[in-house]
Amino acid sequence: MPSNSARGRRSPAGENLATRRVAMVVFPGVTLLDISGPAQVFAELREIDLSGASYSLSYLSSAGGSVPTDVGMMIDTAPISAVRPHQVDTLVIPGGPGVWVLRQDASLMNWISQTVLRARRVASVCLGAFVLAWAGVLHGKRAATHWRYCPRLQDNFPEIRVEPDAIFVRDGRVWSSAGVSAGIDLALAMIEEDFGHTVALDVARRLVVFLKRPGGQSQFSTVLAAQASDVEGRFSALHAWILENIASDLKVEKLAEMAGMTPRTFARTYVSRTGMTPASGVEALRVETARLLLESRQVGGVVEVAKRAGFGDDERMRRAFIRHLGVSPSEYRQRFSR
């Protein structure tokens, strides 16, 4: 493990760079994927010829040794005393159920507090945002965490501008991401910042993941949210029928007929079960359909996708994409198409 790493400025791909140390904090009860996801992204850079530029990964805990994760697997770590704060280029704080106990570890919190001041870049995954908040680095900044804990983070730290839907947020040199798999998106964005879009895209392809979900994209789709609200699955069959007939004229009267209700009763019940109006539900399913078509490139142009998904025209689809995903269909295809 190298003892030093470059803390220099951002450099384009191909420039001769020294190894940058990425320090990942480990504690009992850490979420495994919060560490392994970003770590795999950073490690994959070694497979790409960048004239020696790469990351050096350090897994650090208070005393070193094997540390149990939330799923029982052990991570071999070095003690925090092995790495001084000024030697860290990027500090990553993962989350996990053990994060609340981590706060009581005075030596580890002290090391983190010193390192966030010296590192070129600091980041959190999921509940790791609370650690950055305790260290004071999120004061007055925008931040993301797992959607379940956004209200708690906002209540405990009103000076933080919590973005409840964001996949990840960058505010200056401070990065934060939503839960588990969002750490992969965050790490890819960091590689893109350090080495350029082409390198990040190469890493994403090697890992068979999309480059990249935009930071402002919702943590989960509107359709998934509707399904979660409809706990009894009362409209599951209706949703399946809508998807099979997505290009049809899906007026509320037809939906009510398929659900076996009067239009008025159907509209009221649908809202109470899913939190959306029937029109919004249809639009969300059309966005999901269009999204999959754009990703697969089975359909040539955006105009044709709009027709297949039942939007009628591409401008109507564009407005729906902006509402639901925060990006246009063209931008979505550019970022996610296989």
E strand map for the chain: 20-25, 55-61, 65-68, 74-79, 90-93, 121-125, 142-143, 161-162, 168-171, 174-177
Quickly name the fold that domain 20-206 has.
Rossmann fold (3.40.50)
How high is the pLDDT of residue 152?
95
170 φ/ψ angles, rounded to the nearest 5 degrees:
-120, 125
Give the global pTM: 0.65
How high is the pLDDT of residue 225?
54
How high is the pLDDT of residue 211?
53
CA distance 202 to 13: 12
What tens-digit pLDDT sequence spans the chain (338 residues)? 333 333 333 333 333 346 899 999 999 999 999 999 999 999 998 888 766 568 999 999 999 999 999 999 999 999 999 999 999 999 999 999 999 999 999 999 999 999 999 999 999 999 999 999 999 999 999 999 998 899 999 999 999 999 887 889 999 999 999 987 889 989 999 998 998 878 887 888 788 775 545 544 455 455 555 554 555 567 888 988 998 999 999 999 999 999 999 999 999 999 988 888 999 999 989 998 898 888 776 677 899 999 999 999 999 999 999 888 778 999 888 776 65
How high is the pLDDT of residue 299?
72
Residues 6 or more apart in contact with residue 272 via CB below 8 angstroms: none
Q: What class, spelled out in words, does domain 222-336 have in CATH?
A: mainly alpha
Q: Is the preceding peptide bond at 254 cis, omega within 30 degrees of 0?
A: no
166 beta partners: 218
- Domain positions in the chain are 20-206, 222-336
Q: If we measure between CA atoms, which residue out of 122, 87, 89 comes closest to residue 8? A: 89
